[in-house]
Amino acid sequence: MIDTNALLSIAFSILAGFTNVVQIPPQALPGKVQDLRTYFVGGPRCPIDLYLVGSAGSRFSVRDGVVDTFVSASSYRESRRPGMFVNSQGAQLLNSNQALNLASNTIQKLAKRPNPTAKLTPRVTVPGAPEDHVPFYWIGWPRTNEWGMNSSPAFVEIDARNGTITYLTLRDRAFCDYAMAQVISNRVYTAPPRPPSVWQLQFQAPGVRVKPCPTTNEVLSAIGSWLWLCQRLGVDPGAQTNLDSVFWPKTVVYTNEEISRAAAVCQVNFSNHACFESINGVVFSLFASNACFFGFYQQMSPEDLAQFNGKIIKRWEDLAKDLERVLVEKVGIPRALLEPFSPELDVRIAPTEGRSIKRVVVGWRNWPRNAHRFVDVSETANALSVEFDLETGELKWISFEDPRFIGALRLAQSRSQ
């Protein structure tokens, strides 16, 4: 959002400072809103760019903290009736050398850093046909850019009859006042709220419910199984662990034929974003409220991902080995059921300068041993997947994908009751 009144007030001050270098008749210089014919705020490059048209017809472009373009109402270059200047009355006060000196001195005073025209050969031309005797000089400093095209860091038009600058444009960064531009931005610009990423949207209530909702009894039974699994795994379930904390708009019942064709899956979401899934009252997956790699994690924004930046202290191999021990000794997964599967790194974001994402996903697949040939992942099955925090060593989510493991969870839970 732009505070237009504050932006205009600053712009009028910049225009007043501009006239200390470029002489502009007082009647052509707007000093308040009432002196403007029109104005435009914003542009494709910057939301605080400003274009002003004074009531006398003078035009100003304010960008990067300076007036980068000025056009007088009497400019020949911008005139809609250039013929009016042909054979015009009035003696010329300036010759070409005097016009060049005026233009060069003006450019030198407007430069905020070393003058980009200082080592360039100026070009002074008279617009129009020679016989027209147009009383204006055009001064540029041509140079060849990296693409082989001619350009000029600045351009000046001078009315030789009165020695005034009627057109000026500054194209080089050396004329920009970035410190002032930042001051202006801080005072007048408030960035619009960033729209939520797809990853963030998955925490919000859907506009329309498309899947049925489980009963409170179903949810209550599943919560008991969830707390049992959290306790066995050493996972902190958080403070929201009862029916009052359930986020019902996202709590649903759906079918997952890879797990069961006979029973539906109940997914329970809490207001703090913790989540679990159960089938026939047995929880087979759970997600901490601050889990990272789940849902639409591939659509995370840089800001989403930044919250998972940290130190890599733990080895995922060690965490996977410890988890296998916990699954067998505390959860009740038979060792013989787990043995055909071996852990491997599924998801990890490579560290970059200033960023090390501390979360990884590890999956247990039944890769053939000593196959002596290339084995495609489609030839394997995934028993379970987990997300580890490599800084704290915490388990952030676990999901059992093999129905045999879910059956083992059911048996282990029934034995503990």
pLDDT in tens, 388-408: 999 999 999 999 999 999 999
β partners of residue 366: none
Domain count, the chain: 2
Give yes or no: residues 107 and 218 share one domain.
no
Highest mean pLDDT among 80-89, 98-107, 347-356: 98-107
Task: Output DSSP code: residue 188.
Answer: H
The helix-helix angle for 4-18 and 178-188 (nearest 10°) equals 150
Residue 320's identity, in one-letter code, is A
User: Which letter, b or e, does each residue of 141-171 get, where b requires 16 or more Cβ atoms within 10 Å of its Cβ?
Assistant: bebeeeeeeeebbbbbbbbbbeebbbbbbbe
User: What local confidence, expressed as pLDDT, does residue 194 receive?
Assistant: 83
Distance CA 236, CA 389 (A): 14
By DSSP bridging, strand 265-269 and strand 359-365 are unpaired
Give the model confidence (pLDDT) of 108-163 as tens digits.
999 999 999 999 999 999 998 888 888 999 999 998 766 556 789 999 999 999 99
Residue 248 has pLDDT above 70, yes or no: yes
Q: Which domain holds residue 152?
A: 4-188
Where would I find the H helices in 151-251? 178-188, 198-201, 216-233
Last residue of a domain, one of 167, 188, 209: 188
Give yes or no: residues 163 and 127 share one domain.
yes
193 inside domain: no
pTM assigned to the model: 0.62
Distance CA 115, CA 407 (A): 78
Give the model confidence (pLDDT) of 252-300 as tens digits.
999 998 888 889 999 999 999 999 999 999 999 999 999 999 999 999 9
Residue 349 has pLDDT above 60, yes or no: yes
290 inside domain: yes
Q: Cβ atoms within 10 A of the Cβ of 89, count?
A: 6
Residue 365 has pLDDT above 60, yes or no: yes
Q: pLDDT category, 369, cuts 50, 70, 90?
A: confident
Residue 87 has pLDDT above 60, yes or no: no
Last residue of a domain, one of 133, 167, 188: 188
Last residue of a domain, one of 169, 188, 207: 188
Distance CA 261, CA 99 (A): 88
- Start-to-end C-alpha separation, the chain: 60
Give yes or no: residues 257 and 330 share one domain.
yes
Give yes or no: residues 138 and 214 share one domain.
no
Q: Who wins on pLDDT, 180 or 90?
A: 180
DSSP per position, 54-104:
ETTS-EEEEETTEEEEEE-TT-STT-S-GGGGTT-SS-----HHHHHHHHH
User: What local confidence, expressed as pLDDT, does residue 149 receive?
Assistant: 63
Give yes or no: residues 239 and 380 share one domain.
yes
182 inside domain: yes
Give yes or no: residues 133 and 228 share one domain.
no
Give yes or no: residues 255 and 374 share one domain.
yes
Give yes or no: residues 178 and 210 share one domain.
no
User: What local confidence, expressed as pLDDT, does residue 43 receive?
Assistant: 79
User: What local confidence, expressed as pLDDT, does residue 81 receive?
Assistant: 65
User: What local confidence, expressed as pLDDT, does residue 153 receive?
Assistant: 94
Distance CA 64, CA 11 (A): 11
Give yes or no: residues 230 and 130 share one domain.
no
Give yes or no: residues 263 and 176 share one domain.
no
Distance CA 270, CA 207 (A): 18
Q: pLDDT category, 192, cuts 50, 70, 90?
A: confident
Give yes or no: residues 232 and 167 share one domain.
no
Across all residues in the chain, what is the average pLDDT? 91
Give yes or no: residues 264 and 394 share one domain.
yes
